[in-house]
Structure 1
Amino acid sequence: MASNAAVPFWRAAGMTYITYSNICANLVRNCLKEPLKTEVLSREKVHFSISKWADGKPQKPIIRSDTPEA
């Protein structure tokens, strides 16, 4: 087993790499100057669907459209 010294700081802080990566990406996007900032922020929107499973079959999917929090 690896020692705690080899654990990345984002893991030691209790977050996943995806969370850490999203925070870094938001910081970079917010540092951009106009007009690039507006263009990049418009591409930030995320669309996905969630399906719950019951008795081995998917239920009706829920379509979600979320934007990351700034």
Structure 2
Amino acid sequence: MASSAAVPFWRAAGMTYITYSNICANLVRNCLKEPHKSEALTRERVHFSVSKWVDGKPQKPTIRSDSPEG
């Protein structure tokens, strides 16, 4: 039986470390003054490719963008 005394507060709040880290990063970015704020917001965007696999072979990848604007 594990002790709950050593549980980090983000875990006790029911969130993952990634969620906690993203909240903290957003708070820091929003506290920055221009032009640093807009630069940090552009670095926040994530681009990745997704490939479907058929019969053990990858198909043509599609490029996706996961940005806060939608």
The CA RMSD over aligned residues, in Å, is 2.2
Equivalent position of 2:6 in the other structure: 6
Q: Kindly, what percent of the aligned residue pairs are identical?
A: 79
Residue of structure 2 equivalent to 1:24: 24
The residue type paired with residue 44 of structure 1 is: E
TM-score when scaled to structure 1? 0.74
When the two structures are aligned, how many residues end up with a matched partner? 68
Q: Counterparts of 1:15 and 1:48 in 2: how far apart (Å)?
A: 25
Aligned-pair CA distance for 1:53 = 5.7
In structure 1, the gaps of 5 or more residues are none
TM-score scaled by structure 2?
0.74
User: After the TM superposition, which segments of 4 or more aligned residues of structure 1 sit over 2 Å from their partners?
Assistant: 49-55, 57-64
- Name the aligned partner's letter for residue 40 of structure 2: V
